[in-house]
Structure 1
Amino acid sequence: MLNRLMPAPAAALGLGLLLALPLTAPAALADRAPAQLTVTGEGATEIAPDLATLQVGVTTTGATAAEALAANSAALEAVLARLREAGVEGRDLQTSSLSVTPNWTGYESSSSGPQISGYTAMNIVTVKVRKLDTLGAVLDAAVQDGANTLNGLTFGLQDPRPAMDTARQAAIEDAKAKAALYAEAAGVKLGRIAVITENSGYGGGPAPMFKEAAMSAAPVPVESGQLSMQATVTVVWDLAE
């Protein structure tokens, strides 16, 4: 009698496994990630810049480091004073580089070897011009009063957010239009948006052109062009069942 009752737990266990197996397939389907559609949208808007940034500097030489630096400081102070007179505010003037280096000669001499023949001092100031109609006069004033280094002229916006927001909205609309087109062509329906990522920035217009101020008494001619504010978004949609 005891031997006949022993298989009962095993039979019950087998029945439990059989009953559990059909339940695994629906559970797997419920956990399956939804099909998705990924689209990249692009948007851009053009706007006139309202800010110019440039680097103005003075390079001087002297028999000693102190002499070169003193001459440089005097010349740069005159340039800064002229820039302030031209309307550049103190907050828009910032020293970006200052160096004093020896000048070596005699490399070709095998007997005495290289010798220091003097020193060169260089001081570079980053200048922001917020009134672009005065930019030519500012450049002219800087060069006329002793600046002998002028480079890095770029244009930008004091507040780029409004223009960038316009480009972002255009990028989203572009992504939505593409997604609707692809979904219709594929015979599927768009569900909710799962992910939005952005990669944005702005590019300049034509490269600024200017002449040496010494060539003319008139303000230096400068063309600021247009800035292109660009936004790129990647949008992921879940596809509706």
Structure 2
Amino acid sequence: MMNHLKTQRLALAATLSCALFLPLAALAAEPEIREATIIVSGEGEAAIAPDMAVLGLSVVREAETAEAALKANSQAMAEVIADLKAKSIADRDIQTSAFSVDPLYRQDKADDDTYEAPVIVGYRVTNGLTLRVRDLSQLGALIDAAVKLGVNQGGGISFTNDNPDAAIAEARKKAVAEAMDKARVLTEAAGVKLGRVIEISENFARPMPQPMYRAAMAKEMADAAPIAAGENEYTVTVNITYAIAQ
């Protein structure tokens, strides 16, 4: 009898427990109400004159043997580097960017209109420099002097800024101001109030270097090459998510 009563009590307790937890489970299953938001974006730009140029120069020499081509190339490049250093270009601003030794081939035509196997007739040695010029007033004269000392292949000049942080900060401020202004206009037009900031993100890309000079270089250059630096434009896009005040 006692065991039967105990079993009934346990069953009643289990039933009551299930009844208590059912409402909680039902509440947990209800979908969460999503906060009303507004997403706006703004773009800011800041343009500043470049204060540094990155210049590519190459010395190319050909000879019947690899040793002779390498010797001629090394001699010419040594003179170029010595001249650059004499013009106060620091070691940190002179960097070898490419070096190659390539065979030169000749392929003759046979009597039966087929081609004979190619044969090596010489070698070409190419030695490239990447040069950072921090005094832009020197740029034209540096190119002219380098050509006269043996540089016979030119890369491109790209103008950049050593430290563009101030310009980027200005562009950010303009982007945020534009985004905030958009948010105020939209909420006023919709008859709602702007709430707290939920999220801010930005997209920023440095301006692509613009090649300003690219050509095979002639030793006949008598005057310093004219160079126009222009301006670098830094652009920042800001995305802001606001809550709509309820």
Matched, 1:196 2:197: no
Letter in 2 for 1:57: S
Q: Deviations over 1:191-229 (max 9, x none)?
A: 222222211123369763589675653321100001111
Tell me if the contact between 2:108 and 2:115 (Cα under 8 Å) persists in the aligned partners: no
Matched, 1:147 2:148: no
Q: CA RMSD in A?
A: 3.1
Tell me how far apart the structure 2 counterparts of residues 186 and 65 of structure 1 sit (CA, whole Å).
77
Tell me if the contact between 1:167 and 1:230 (Cα under 8 Å) persists in the aligned partners: yes
Matched, 1:234 2:235: no
Deviation at 1:150, TM superposition (A): 1.3
Matched, 1:187 2:187: no
Tell me how far apart the structure 1 counterparts of residues 172 and 202 of structure 2 sit (CA, whole Å).
9
Could you say what secondary structure the match of 2:230 adopts? coil
Change beyond 3 A, Cα 1:62–1:240: same
What is aligned with 1:223?
Answer: 228
Deviation at 1:189, TM superposition (A): 1.9
Change beyond 3 A, Cα 1:202–1:181: same
Letter in 2 for 1:126: T
Letter in 2 for 1:39: V
Tell me if the contact between 1:103 and 1:116 (Cα under 8 Å) persists in the aligned partners: yes
Tell me if the contact between 2:103 and 2:124 (Cα under 8 Å) persists in the aligned partners: yes
Matched, 1:167 2:167: no
**Which is further off, 32-41 or 91-100?**
32-41
Tell me how far apart the structure 1 counterparts of residues 227 and 173 of structure 2 sit (CA, whole Å).
32
Structure 1 gap ranges (5+): none
Deviation at 1:131, TM superposition (A): 0.7
Kindly tell me the number of residue pairs found equivalent between the two proteins: 238
Could you say what secondary structure the match of 1:223 adopts? coil
What is aligned with 1:88?
Answer: 89
Matched, 1:118 2:129: no
What is aligned with 2:48?
Answer: 47
Tell me how far apart the structure 2 counterparts of residues 86 and 105 of structure 1 sit (CA, whole Å).
42
Tell me if the contact between 1:50 and 1:158 (Cα under 8 Å) persists in the aligned partners: yes
When the two structures are superposed, what TM-score results if normalisation uses the length of structure 2? 0.83
Tell me if the contact between 2:194 and 2:243 (Cα under 8 Å) persists in the aligned partners: yes
Structure 2 gap ranges (5+): none
Tell me how far apart the structure 2 counterparts of residues 43 and 183 of structure 1 sit (CA, whole Å).
22
What is aligned with 1:129?
Answer: 133
1:3-82 mapped onto 2 (5 Å cutoff): 17=19, 21=23, 28=30, 31-82=32-83
Tell me how far apart the structure 1 counterparts of residues 22 and 45 of structure 2 sit (CA, whole Å).
57
Tell me if the contact between 2:104 and 2:120 (Cα under 8 Å) persists in the aligned partners: yes
Deviation at 1:14, TM superposition (A): 8.5
Q: 1:208 aligns with which of 206, 212, 231?
A: 212
Could you say what secondary structure the match of 1:208 adopts? coil
Tell me if the contact between 2:107 and 2:115 (Cα under 8 Å) persists in the aligned partners: no
